[in-house]
Structure 1
Amino acid sequence: MKNVKIVIGANFGDEGKGLLTDYFCSAFPTREKVLNVRFNGGAQAGHTVVKADGRRHVFSHFGSGSFNENNLTYLSSYFILNPMLFVKEYKVLESKGVVPRVYIHKDCLVTFPGDVMINQMVEAHRDKNRHGSCGVGIYETIKRTSNHQKTTIGYIQENFDQLAKMIAGTIQLYVPQRLDELNTELTDSEWELIRNETITENYIYDLGFMLQHTEIVDNDIIKEYDNIVFEGAQGLLLDADNIEYYPHLTPSNTGIKNAIDILSGVDACDLSICYVTRSYFTRHGAGLFKTECDSTDLKPAGLRDKTNQTNAYQGNFKYGYFDVAAFQHSVEKDLGFLNRTAAVELAVTHLDETDGYLILDSEKLEVADLLKIMNLHAGYTSYGEKAEDIQGTVLCHQYAARHQY
């Protein structure tokens, strides 16, 4: 029977999904292949993994289990490709001793250079009213492929010699229309950048590189592997359908919905779902943040995140108290998409920063107490940034069977 794990961030992202994904991928014997599936979002995800030998990487286009030699990445049809960032990250991983092995679903959407530039330029023109985008063109890719030309990787592979014409047509016909919709007038220098032929030439090289270093497949690839780890991106509170936080959301389903759909062709598997949270909340980007506080309210000396730095599009990395009600509601809502038996688990990270407690607005909460609130029997706790710092590996099959999850 297949062993399947789904890793889901339960908050606004940055919960520790990369850490837990690496931990689960590392748990399989090295002689057994592990398929690490990315099933939402795209290059805007940044999942940090630190290995015992000191190697550190923020995974974006590749599965966070990629430091393990038996790991293969599968970018499912829900993943949005960015060839420019793919090549850059591929070469960085090579320098760290990793030669990624990657499957790409033929229906993956592909970001064009114009998608990224529209995203960044429009955000800059919004000034103080920015949406908090990561600036890599995810939403603009979805809009263009919905309204102009649906460029999937499979289509581009079959029509690679027409790629330059596709991009030129987009710049000529679609970009002006999209900028009108966004009520944005670009400067001459911005238009010059969008029309820059060297950028197009470099992009075509990058896309060719990506095709040469990956294998285009369909969902049947799932059937070929017995060990599968699904790696979610962003968090449940940023789900595209979470209207309470509109419009500062990510344009994808961040919970189990996509993963369960990918598994629809698998008759039986030993499935467990792990919801990940820090011992406090964080948010990078604009939008509602009910429990926002200063990091010194969580730890007297303050906190500093190594991965999430202040940038031009998302702004400052923000901290907040742990919100039990929001956490419980988002997890229970997400489990509504579950249509087969599964164990449900909890993982709490960054406990080394908060003396082993979850930090609420007016009190501290032990992990055991949160497990009781969630009606879970066991979970995982992390007191550091490496897989070796994680404790607790008991699965929750009794809970799953009793509730028919």
Structure 2
Amino acid sequence: MSPPHAAHIVVDLGFGDAGKGTLTDWLVRRHGAGLVVRFNGGAQAGHNVVTDDGRHHTFSQFGAGTFVPGVRTHLARTTIVHPLAMLVEARYLAERGAPDALSRTTVSEGARIITPFHQAAGRLRELARGTGRHGTCGVGVGETVRDALAHPEDALHACDLTRPAMLVRKAAAAQERLRAELSEVRRAASAHPQATSELVLLEDPEVPSRWADAVRALRPRERVVGDDWLAPRLREGTTLFEGAQGVLLDEWRGFHPHTTWSTCTFDLALELLRDADFDGALHRLGVLRAYATRHGEGPFPTEEPALAPAVPEPHNDAAGWQGGFRVGAFDAVLARYALAACGGVDALALTHLDRLATRWPVCTAYRAPPQDADTGTLPRMHPASRAPMEEADTDTRLRMHTASHAPAEYGGMFTRDTADTSRVTALRLGPHRDLAYQEHLTRALATCHPLREELDLGGPPAERTERFVAWVESILGVKVAVTSHGPAARDKRERGLT
């Protein structure tokens, strides 16, 4: 039985897409949770849930427990909200049997708001790059955060949605500000056929008022609540905190500049719990796939395109702005780094175990250049690591105020085998919020080559699962509490989850 009130925090230990949504849906059902709190990221999230009766939805802003009747969603102050996308998603959910999803949702008054102008600005920057694209989800999350950091007094927050006149004034100011800032970008992108509609959004003076009118359908006065709303709800039963993206994309611990403008560790959820004086049971669950994945551009040491046919991806593709879906061998080096970056976990969940073959590729170490390669002057990045994600599309100097060290001042960025110093077994954490360290770590990582191995997992699926789980627990030193053998709740197996 669950304690009177408890909190489960679900965090992805990879580059995203590990299965946070399906685990959240299962945990809600398993523990009878009444509330799912989205605590980081924004409308670029894509958390797939398939119900036992076959309904599928890719959750973006609503909590992945929404298919369970009565379960509420709360978008915390640390999220970035796209109002019109919420309305669209609510319609999709209604078609899939959750007609009251919006009425079960609240938004913190402090959550930042994406306007059409922030979305257009991010897309125009990408189009202006031509063949040198960075990769973007195209919904304006990074642009919204960048603009809020640069102009905090003019940033739009959810509380502004309840004040129509203020909303129009702030939206119009954002339109004018971004139009002026992007004059060169607009010229560079103007020849691209996809730029036309984005340019109109920045140039049409009627858009701010039309957007504000459309937002009224969200019924902001019913949705938007104060920061004190959450604390009493946390004491009513079990709450799920559903993370977005993955620890390896974290704004401070990810491989800069291939990162998101969001903290993807447990930190923001723990901050919300501290602010609420939460005194219930707490469980931190880290999620990993049985193999590595990455959506879009950025470093991916164990990438193995030949593995793709064996691990089909029905709910992730290369459509839209975000780029291709990449797969590779299970990477214990990056898993160890993610565990260290988020301060450890109470247990692991392993997903996609139904994909395991008799011979399964894994990586427990890298081969790297001599010791000075991770302390001093670093070589150019590998071509596969050439471009940041959407949230780094803009001026990342806004987040580099703590980046002051020279590479050699950090010491080694790798933990190396004492008997074979070219063998890297771990990546070392640097000073927190030091993007210079993270950028040098990214460059050092690009010099590494995975030492690929193959596990002999044996015969039938159940045997393969047990051997792989035992191997993961041994190599990472963490208990696997949940295994997932398919997309639905019925495909989950519990192994001692408290």
TM (norm. structure 1) is 0.88
8 A contact 1:49–1:58 mirrored in 2: yes
Indicate how the Cα distance of structure 1 residues 184 and 258 shifts in structure 2: closer, same or farther if over 3 A, else same. Answer: farther
CA separation of 1:238 and 1:168: change in aligned 2, threshold 3 A: same
Aligned to 1:388: 490
Aligned residues of 1:380 and 1:392 also touching (Cα < 8 A): yes
User: Where does 1:161-240 land on structure 2 (aligned, <5 Å)?
Assistant: 161-179=165-183, 185-187=188-190, 189=196, 190-196=198-204, 199-210=207-218, 211=220, 214-224=223-233, 225-240=236-251
Which moves more between the two structures, 97-106 or 365-374? 365-374
2:242 is aligned with 1:258: no
State how far apart, in whole Å, the 1-side matches of 2:360 and 2:222 are: 43
Q: Structure 1 179/12 Cα, relative in aligned 2: closer, same or farther at 3 Å?
A: farther
Displacement of 1:122? 0.9
For 1:318-333, list aligned pairs within 5 A.
318-333=326-341
Cα 1:202/1:281, change in 2 over 3 Å: farther
Match of 2:307 in 1: 297
- Is residue 138 from structure 1 mapped to residue 141 from structure 2 by the alignment? yes
- Report SS of the residue matched to 1:74: strand
Kindly state the Cα deviation for residue 303 of structure 1 after the two structures are TM-superposed.
2.9
221 and 198 in structure 1: CA distance in 2 versus 1, 3 angstrom threshold: same
Q: Which moved more, 1:40-49 or 1:129-138?
A: 129-138
Q: Distance in 1 between matches of 2:124 and 2:188?
A: 10
Deviation for aligned residue 1:236: 0.6
Aligned to 1:367: 469
Residue pair 2:117, 2:178 contacting (<8 A) in 1 also: no
- 1:119 aligns with 122
1:86 matched to 2:86: yes
Q: Compute the displacement of 1:267 (Å).
A: 4.0
Using the alignment, how far apart are the partners of 2:76 and 2:359 within structure 1?
36
> What's the counterpart of residue 47 of structure 2?
47
- For 1:247, the aligned partner's letter is P
Q: CA deviation at 1:92?
A: 1.0
Q: Aligned pair in 2 of structure 1 residues 267, 221: CA closer, same or farther (>3 Å)?
A: closer
Q: Is the 8 A contact 2:10 2:20 kept in 1?
A: yes
Task: Tell me how far 1:152 sits from its aligned partner.
Answer: 0.6
Alignment partner, residue 259 of structure 2: 249
Contact (CA 8 Å) 2:15, 2:247: kept in 1 or not?
yes
Which residue does the alignment assign to 1:401?
A: none
The match for 1:346 is 348
Please identify, of 186-195 and 147-156, the stretch whose mean Cα deviation from structure 2 is larger.
186-195
For residues 20 and 338 of structure 2, the distance between their equivalents in structure 1, rounded to whole angstroms, comes to 16
Conserved? CA contact 1:82–1:111, under 8 Å: yes
The separation in 2 between residues aligned to 1:20 and 1:291, in whole angstroms, is 25
> Rg bigger for which structure?
2
> How far is 1:219 from its partner?
4.1
The code of the aligned residue for 1:324 comes to A
Identity value in percent: 29
Q: How large is the Cα RMSD of the aligned pairs?
A: 2.2
Q: What amino acid sits opposite 1:308 in the alignment?
A: N
Post-superposition, which runs of at least 4 consecutive aligned residues in structure 1 deviate over 6 A? none
**Count of residue correspondences:** 381
Kindly state the Cα deviation for residue 175 of structure 1 after the two structures are TM-superposed: 2.7
Distance 2:95 2:186 in 1: 43
Q: Partners of 2:489 and 2:187 in 1: how far apart?
A: 46
Letter matched to residue 25 of structure 1: V
Q: 1:206 to 1:309 in 2, by over 3 A?
A: farther
Correspondences of 1:68-107 after superposition (within 5 Å): 68-98=68-98, 99-100=100-101, 101-107=104-110
Shift of 1:374: 2.7
Q: Indicate how the Cα distance of structure 1 residues 50 and 312 shifts in structure 2: closer, same or farther if over 3 A, else same.
A: closer
